[in-house]
Amino acid sequence: MSAHIIDGKKLAESVRAEWKARAEKLIQSGTKPGLAVIIVGDNAASSLYVRNKVKACSEIGIYSEVHSFQQNASQAEVLDCIQALNSNPHIHGILVQLPLPAHFENNRVITSIAVEKDVDGFHLYNVGALVTGNTIFSPCTPFGVMVMLESNRIPIEGQHAVVIGRSNIVGKPMAFMLLEKGATVTICTSKTRNLAQFTRDADILVVATGKPRMVNAEMIKPGAAVIDVGINRLPDGKLCGDVDFDSVKEIAGYITPVPGGVGPMTITMLLCNTILAAERAQAGIFK
Ligand code: GUN
């Protein structure tokens, strides 16, 4: 039997509709949610992501501004910009698009963002809060994956979740968010010895390796929920995920497509985090 295909685009639309109402409520009571995006250099993929974020903000009623710096900008200039945004009452969320050029110290930059405006959830304080079960902001991609699982009523508690990938943006926060919901979590990497031995035992498999179609049908437990975070461009120009969709969908119970799966959820969760930050600012609480 073929897996249920989780439509990330459709789910993103319904989540956005729900949060648009929250944004409208804020606006009516005098607070327009505001997001500032900082981008350094001219990485084509980053520029596209930033354009998509700005467009999504305007569609949901969030004010946004982009601060673009040249590739050779100094870290001090970017830190000055973040300082000004930290004390700007119209800005509730600040996001520094990654990767930064090699001469930047990522943690120095990210930890200069006010904790309550760190809508990516990458500040070391926010990472610690997440790991200890005191989440302030959930990082957007794993947050989107959790919403996909929960809205499809896929059980998490007591299930074996395997995450392939150990990045700070996806793999690590994903593992802790699943753990927080009671899953037994195994973290693997693309280099894990006998990887299939782990994946074949996964009730939930989240793949974030950046390796096109590396997970195939033989690595899947029948009925598993397979979430593909990868997005890779093939030599013929087509996009594909880290999962071999055509073969895996015959074995899995649930599967996310690429494109149209996790991708649309990531930006949606950024919008949610920005609205959440604005709600907290209006209420004068920074939890
Ligand atoms: N680069 C790739 N993914 C992300 C993300 O979620 N946030 C930021 N700031 N940069 C990224």
Kindly tell me if the per-residue pLDDT of 286 is higher than 90.
no
For the CA of 270, the nearest atom of ligand 1: 6
CATH superfamily assigned to domain 30-119: Leucine Dehydrogenase, chain A, domain 1 (3.40.50.10860)
> Does the N-terminal peptide bond of residue 99 adopt cis geometry, omega within 30 degrees of 0?
yes
How far is 188 from 228, CA to CA, in rounded Å?
15
What pTM was estimated for this model as a whole? 0.97
| Res. 278 pLDDT band, cuts 50 70 90 | very high
Give me the mean pLDDT over the 159-182 stretch. Answer: 98
| pLDDT-based confidence at residue 168 (cuts at 50, 70, 90) | very high
Please identify, in words, the CATH class of the domain defined by 140-263. Answer: alpha beta
Q: Which residues line ligand 1 (CB under 6 A)?
A: 95-98, 120, 140-141, 169
- pLDDT category at 1 given cuts 50, 70, 90 is confident
Q: Cα-flanking dihedrals φ and ψ of residue 146, to 5°? A: -60, -40
CA–CA distance, 192 with 187 (Å, rounded to integer): 9
What average pLDDT does range 209-234 have in this prediction?
A: 97
Ligand 1: residue whose CA is nearest its atom 8: 97
**Domain ranges across the chain:** 30-119, 140-263
> Are 30-119 and 140-263 in the same CATH fold?
yes
Q: SS in 3 state form for 150-211?
A: HHCCCCCCCCEEEEECCCCCCHHHHHHHHHHCCCEEEEECCCCCCHHHHHCCCCEEEECCCC
- Sort residue 179 into left (φ over 0), alpha (ψ -120 to 50) or beta: alpha
> Is the pLDDT reported for residue 287 higher than 70?
no
Q: State which ligand 1 atom lies nearest to the alpha carbon of 95.
A: 9
Question: How many A from CA of 170 to the centre of ligand 1?
Answer: 9
Whether the per-residue pLDDT at 238 is higher than 90: the answer is yes
Q: Is the pLDDT of residue 190 over 60?
A: yes
Which atom number of ligand 1 is nearest to the Cα of residue 141? 6
130-157: b (≥16 Cβ within 10 Å) or e: bbeeebbbbbbbbbbbbbbbeeeebebe
Give residue 270 CA to ligand 1 midpoint distance, Å.
10
Nearest CA to ligand 1 atom 1: 98
Catalytic site residue from 118, 120, 242, 244: 120
